[in-house]
Amino acid sequence: MGRLLLSRIGCDCPLCGARVAGARLCPGCEADILAAGPDARPRCPRCALSLPRGAPCCAACLGAPRSFARTVAAFDYAPPADALILMLKARLRLGMAPVLARLMAAAVARDGPLPAGVLLVPIPASRASLRRRGMNPAAEIARGLAAELVLPLARGVLLRRREAPRQTGRSRRARRRGAVGLFACGGGVSGRHVAVVDDVMTTGSTADAAAVALLAAGAASVTVLVAARTP
């Protein structure tokens, strides 16, 4: 009921200020961000990194195989779309979570269906992040995405085994080392296809660590769903 009411309340597009109905972008801004016409650059099928035309896969995925099978990203973490992430994470505007979820659902529809019966699992936030923000951005997005895609959402499946340093500004190698063994799985995924939900993918190290834990617990496969992919 709350979501239905929200969809009917007039508000402003968070990017251009145009009047819209509910937590969403205006049609023009949404079309610009989700641009996928003939001029759109292809993405790596494994990690969703934007590729030069003709390249089948990115060098990182060729050099270091990932534990997850596929990544779907709604947009690149670049202006103006990156403002949506910053509004949620830095300015704590929770209304951006359903906006991002809607964009991610559109990306899934564009890139192809998820496995039947897939279970959505958000990346858990660190204690420091929870203290700083009072919420987990990935979990907020996952809640909206579960409603958009009509899929089950499982909280508490992924658990942090330890606190890790903030990833911002760290090298790819340091991020990969810091993410090894970061997560454990609390169960409930045996034989299930799992879609891990996060806000931004930079190197894929966090998503890979989550996939390792889920596969070790018996998950049939792991897909990654992110709002933004760092170019």
Cis preceding linkage at 80, omega within 30 = yes
CB atoms within 10 A of CB 94: 14
The residue segments making up the domain with residue 170 are 43-229
Q: Are residues 24 and 78 in the same domain?
A: no
- Count: domains in the chain: 2
138 in a domain, yes or no? yes
CA 116/CA 197 separation, integer angstroms: 17
Q: Are residues 60 and 132 in the same domain?
A: yes
Is residue 207 within 8 A of residue 71, CB to CB? The reply is: yes
Task: Please report how the helices 96-111 and 137-149 are oriented relative to each other, as an axis angle in degrees rounded to 10.
Answer: 50
pTM above 0.85, yes or no: yes
Q: Are residues 217 and 108 in the same domain?
A: yes
Tokens of 165: 């340093």
Residues near 168 by beta carbon (within 8 Å), at least 6 away in sequence: none
Q: Are residues 9 and 95 in the same domain?
A: no
91 phi/psi in degrees, rounded to 5? -100, 0
Q: Are residues 5 and 78 in the same domain?
A: no
Q: Are residues 175 and 224 in the same domain?
A: yes
38 in a domain, yes or no? no
Q: Are residues 16 and 117 in the same domain?
A: no
DSSP assigned state of 174: H
SS3 (DSSP) at 44: coil
Q: Are residues 25 and 51 in the same domain?
A: no
Q: Are residues 54 and 95 in the same domain?
A: yes
CA 49/CA 123 separation, integer angstroms: 20
- CATH code, domain carrying 90: 3.40.50
Q: Are residues 170 and 143 in the same domain?
A: yes
For CA atoms 73, 77, 80, 84, give the dihedral sign: positive
Mean pLDDT by 10 residues, the chain (231 residues): 52 92 90 73 92 87 91 95 96 95 96 94 94 96 97 94 68 66 92 98 94 97 97 89
Q: Are residues 183 and 82 in the same domain?
A: yes
Q: Are residues 77 and 9 in the same domain?
A: no
Residues near 48 by beta carbon (within 8 Å), at least 6 away in sequence: 71, 72, 73, 201, 224, 226, 229
CB atoms within 10 A of CB 66: 20
CB atoms within 10 A of CB 106: 16
Q: What is the model's pLDDT at position 167?
A: 59
